[in-house]
Amino acid sequence: MATHMAEPAAGETEATTENLTLEDQVWLLRAMLLMRGLEERAMTLYRQGKVPGSFYDGFGQEAVSAGAAFAMAPEDRLCILHRDLAAHIIRGVTPERILAQYMGRAAGITAGRDGNVHFGDRNLGCVGMVSMLPDMMLIATGMAMAFKLRGERRCALTWFGDGSTSRGDFHEAMNWAGVQKLPVVFVLENNQYAYSTPLDKQFAVDPVERAAAYGFAGVTVDGNDVEAMFEATRAARERAIGGGGPTLIEAVTMRMHGHAAHDDMKYVPKEQVEEWRKRDPVDRQEKRLGDLGVDIEALRADVKAEIDAAAETALSSPMPDPAGAVDGVFCEGEAEPLGDGVARWSGFSQKAVA
Amino acid sequence: MATLTYLQAISAGLRDELRADERVLVMGEDIGVFGGAFKVTDGFIDEFGPDRVMDTPLAESGIIGTAIGAAVVGMRPVCEMQFADFISCGFDQLVNVAGKMHYRQGLAVPITVRLPSGGGFSGGPFHSQNPEAWFMHSPGIKVVAPSTAEDAKGLLHAAVRDPNPVCFMEHKHLYRRIKGDVPEGIFETPMKARVARPGTDLVVIAYGAMVHTALEATEDIDGASIEVLDLRSLVPLDEEAILESVARCSKVIVVDEANQMCAAGAQVAALIAEKGFEDLDGPVVRVATPDVPIPFSPPLEQAVLPSVERVKEACRDLLAY
C-alpha cells in the first residue's frame, strides 16, 4: 500500500506554464536552489559545531514549498513547516537571516529564542511552526475564518506531513474548515516517512480521500514538480478566495535525508531512495529551463555567491545577549497583526499590475 | 451603577466589548442559539449575529487554535470553554502555540479564554476543576480570577483589551450567588490584588470563590482583626500586595479551592517564605482541596472542598500559635 500511495497520481494536476512567465519559472528554480544551497551550508556549519541542537532539512522536497508559496499573494498568510525553507525565501526572508537563525545568532528571525526552521517572520505574513506540527492547521484555519468573517478576498495556507494526519488537530482543522467553508489551503507533504514510520503504519486510506469526508476538494500532485505544485496551489487559492472553500493538496514527495542530522535512515530501502533520486525536483526544473535556453550554470553561480556572502555575514554576527533571555514573554504594547509578505509571482507583482 | 449578579456582570462585559470593538467575537460550544450552558451569552446572537457569536464544532483544540489564528490577523476572540475542565483538550494550543508565540516571534496573541471553573454542586470529576495552576506554570499566559461582580466585569474588559492570551477563571458557584454594584460602561480592573477586608492580626489570602469562604469564615473569630486579601490576578501575581499584607498581619493562611499540590497558593506560600520570612510570626498555613479528583456525591464533595469551618479552624489554630 505504501508503494501505491508513493506514486504520484499522474494526470490529476499537470504542470502548466499557462500562468507562469519565464521569469517566474526561473524564480521557482532560484528559490529551490537557494533552499538546497542554504541547507547544505547549514549542514556543514552543523558538522563544524556552529549550529546548536539538531539540524533538519527538506532535501528532495524543495518543490513543495517553492511551488505552493509562489502562488500566494502578499496579503495571504502562511504557516511554514520545517522542510519548507523555500517558502520563507519566497516571502522575503534573506539568506543571512536564515543562517543566523540556524546558528542561534541575534540576527536570526527569532533572535535565538527558537532553533532551526522554527520561525516565521511576522512582518512577512508568516507564523512560525511549533513542533506539534498539525497544530498549525488550526492556526491557518483561524486566519481563514477571520478573512471570511471580514469579507476579505484572502487565503491562508499551511503545510504538514503524513504523520500529522494521525493527530486530532488535523481532523479538527479539516472539519472546522469544511463546516465553515473557509478560504484555506492544506498542503499535505507526503514524504513517505514520519521520522521512521512508513505510510502503511500511519493511515488505512489514501489521505487525500479525507478531503471528501470533510466536504471539500482534494487533489494529488507530483510534489517533485515545482510547476505542478504552483498550479495546484494557484487553483486552490482561486477556489478559496472565490468562496469555494478549502482544498487539500496531497503533494507526493520523498524525504531524501534522515528526519534530522543524527538519523542515518537505515529503515529506508536503498532502492526507494535511488528511485526518488531520479525524480529530483531541482534537476527537473533545471532540465526544463535549460531546454528553454536559460543559463543554469550562471544561475547556480549567482545563488552560490549569494549564499557565500550570507554565510560570511551570519558567521560574523553576534550571539544574543544572555541578559535578554527573560525578556519579551508578554507583549507590553499594542498587539500588532501579521504584515504582508513578498509575492514574487508575476500575477501579483507590481510589474504585472502595471 | 447597576446591581448585577456575577454572571450578569460577565454578560454585560462581553456585550459592551462586542458593541465597542468590531474585532471582538465570542466563540464556543452552544453559545449562540442556546446562549451557552450557563446562559452567559443568552440573546447575544440576536444582537450580534451568528458570525460574532459563533457556535463552533465540539472541538476545544479547534476553538483555541482558530482563535489564535484569528487573533494574529487582527481579531480579538473571546473563547468559551463550556467547562474549565475541557481546556485539557485545548491545552497544547494554549500552552505551546499561544503562550510561546510572543517570546519566540514577537507576535502578540490577544485572546481571552473564559473558563467556568470550580465545584460545590455535584459536577463530579470533569465539571468541577480549578485548572488555573496549569497555566501559571506555562510562560506567556495571564491568569485572572475575579471574586465579585464588579471585578468580573472589570477584569473581563482588562482581559479582552490585553495583547496577550488571558485565562479568565469565572467561578460557576459565584454565577448567581454573588451580586454587587457594577459601574456602567467599560472600565478595566487592574490585574492586582485587592484588600477585601482590612485587618492586622492575620491575613487570609484567596481568590475566586474562596474569597467569599474566607470572608464568611473570618467575620468574627473571637474579635480578632483578620484581613482578607483577594488576589484577583494569579499571573501577574501581585507580590507587593501579598508582602504588604504579610508585613501588616504576620500570620498567613492561604486558601485554594484547587488541588493542593503546586496550586496557586503554593506559589504564594513560597513567595512569603522567600521574601516575607522576617515578618512572619508563625508558619504559613495552607487550606486547599486534597489531591483527589472532585467527587460527585454531596457528602464526599463537601469533605474535600475547603469549607467555612475548615478556614475558621485554621484561623483559630494559627491565632493561638
Helix (H, G, I), strand (E, B) or coil at B202: strand
Name the residue among B52, B72, B104 with its Cβ closest to that of A337: B72
Cell 487539500, located at residue: A248
Q: Is the Cα torsion angle B196, B200, B205, B210 positive or negative in sign?
A: negative
Residue B56 pLDDT more than 60?
yes
Q: pLDDT tens-digit profile of B2-11?
A: 999 999 999 9
Chain B residues touching A91 at Cβ < 8 A:
none
User: pLDDT band for position A8 (50/70/90)?
Assistant: very low
Chain B residues touching A132 at Cβ < 8 A:
92, 96
Q: Select from A235, A226, A337 the least CA-distant residue to A279.
A: A226
CA dist., res. A347 & res. B16, Å (int): 43
Residue A2 pLDDT more than 70?
no
Angle at B42 between CA B37 and CA B47, to 5 degrees: 145
Query: Per CB distance under 8 Å, which residues of B are interface residues toward A?
Result: 25, 51-52, 56-57, 59, 61-62, 64-75, 92-93, 96-97, 100-110, 139-140, 142, 163-164
Q: pLDDT tens-digit profile of A328-350?
A: 999 999 999 999 999 999 999 85
Asked if omega into B146 is within 30° of 0 (cis), the reply is: no
**A91 touches B: beta carbon within 8 Å:** no
Chain A residues touching B71 at Cβ < 8 A:
142, 335
pLDDT of residue A349: 80
User: pLDDT band for position A353 (50/70/90)?
Assistant: very low
**A120 touches B: beta carbon within 8 Å:** yes
Q: pLDDT tens-digit profile of A288-306?
A: 999 999 999 999 999 999 9
pLDDT of residue B141: 98
Asked if the Cβ–Cβ distance from A147 to B73 is below 8 Å, we say yes
pLDDT of residue A15: 57
Q: What is the mean pLDDT of chain B?
A: 98
pLDDT of residue A82: 95
Q: Select from B233, B234, B252 the least CA-distant residue to B243.
A: B252
Cα torsion through A148, A149, A151, A156, rounded to 10: -30
Chain B residues touching A77 at Cβ < 8 A:
72-73
B23, burial (CB in 10 Å: exposed 0-12, middle 13-18, buried 19+): buried
Q: Classify strands A197-198 and A193-194 as parallel, antiparallel or unpaired.
A: antiparallel
Q: pLDDT tens-digit profile of B137-164?
A: 999 999 999 999 999 999 999 999 999 9
pLDDT of residue A3: 40
Chain A residues touching B102 at Cβ < 8 A:
328-331
pLDDT of residue B107: 98
Q: What is the mean pLDDT of chain A?
A: 94
Cell 526544463, located at residue: A288
Q: Select from B134, B92, B138 the least CA-distant residue to B117.
A: B134
**Cβ-based contacts under 8 A for chains A and B:** 139
- Nearest CA to CA, how far is A181 from chain B (Å)? 13
Instruction: Tell me the residues of chain A between 177 and 206 that have a Cβ less than 8 Å away from chain B.
Output: 179
Residue A221 and residue A251 in contact, taking contact as beta carbons nearer than 8 Å: yes
Asked if the Cβ–Cβ distance from A127 to B72 is below 8 Å, we say yes
Nearest CA in chain A to B138: A329
Asked if the Cβ–Cβ distance from B110 to A335 is below 8 Å, we say yes
**A157 touches B: beta carbon within 8 Å:** no
Residue B218 and residue B311 in contact, taking contact as beta carbons nearer than 8 Å: yes
Q: pLDDT tens-digit profile of A186-200?
A: 999 999 999 999 999
Q: pLDDT tens-digit profile of A90-126?
A: 999 999 999 999 999 999 999 999 998 899 999 999 9
pLDDT of residue A116: 86
Asked if the Cβ–Cβ distance from B69 to A329 is below 8 Å, we say no
Helix (H, G, I), strand (E, B) or coil at A221: strand
**What is the average pLDDT across B103-131?**
97
Give pTM, 2 decimals: 0.96
Q: pLDDT tens-digit profile of B163-212?
A: 999 999 999 999 999 999 999 999 999 999 999 999 999 999 999 999 99
**A142 touches B: beta carbon within 8 Å:** yes
Asked if the Cβ–Cβ distance from A338 to B73 is below 8 Å, we say yes
Q: pLDDT tens-digit profile of A207-238?
A: 999 999 999 999 999 999 999 999 999 999 99
Angle at A41 between CA A38 and CA A47, to 5 degrees: 140
Asked if the Cβ–Cβ distance from A328 to B75 is below 8 Å, we say no
Q: Select from B139, B89, B81 the least CA-distant residue to A138.
A: B89
Name the residue among B61, B66, B107 with its Cβ closest to that of A127: B107
Greater confidence (B55 vs A350) lies with: B55
* Spacing of C-alpha A99 from chain mean position: 17
Residue B265, C-alpha cell as written in the block: 497558593
CA distances from A139 to A170, A186, A236, B31 (A): 11, 11, 18, 22
CA dist., res. B26 & res. A288, Å (int): 51
pLDDT of residue B237: 98
The maximal CA–CA distance of chain A, rounded, in angstroms, is 57
Q: Select from A50, A136, A48 the least CA-distant residue to A87.
A: A136
**What is the average pLDDT across A56-82?**
97
Asked if the Cβ–Cβ distance from A145 to B62 is below 8 Å, we say no
Which residues of A are part of the catalytic machinery?
255, 259, 267
**What is the average pLDDT across B3-22?**
98
pLDDT of residue B228: 98
Asked if the Cβ–Cβ distance from A138 to B68 is below 8 Å, we say yes
Residue B86 pLDDT more than 90?
yes
- Nearest CA to CA, how far is A295 from chain B (Å)? 39
Residue A4 pLDDT more than 50?
no
Residue B256 pLDDT more than 90?
yes
CA dist., res. B197 & res. B195, Å (int): 5
Q: Is the Cα torsion angle A40, A42, A46, A47 positive or negative in sign?
A: positive
Strands (E), chain A: 77-80, 126-128, 156-161, 184-190, 193-194, 197-198, 217-222, 247-252
- Alpha carbons within 13 angstroms on the beta-carbon side of residue A225 total 20
Rounded (10°) angle between helices A281-291 and A226-241: 100
Instruction: Tell me the residues of chain A between 301 and 330 that have a Cβ less than 8 Å away from chain B.
Output: 328-330
User: pLDDT band for position A14 (50/70/90)?
Assistant: low
Residue A1 pLDDT more than 50?
no
Chain A residues touching B69 at Cβ < 8 A:
127, 138-146, 156
Asked if the Cβ–Cβ distance from A149 to B75 is below 8 Å, we say yes
Nearest CA in chain A to B163: A335
Q: pLDDT tens-digit profile of A235-251?
A: 999 999 999 999 999 99
- Choose the mutation target among B21, B26, B95, B105 for the interface with A, i.e. most A CBs under 10 Å: B105
B39, burial (CB in 10 Å: exposed 0-12, middle 13-18, buried 19+): middle
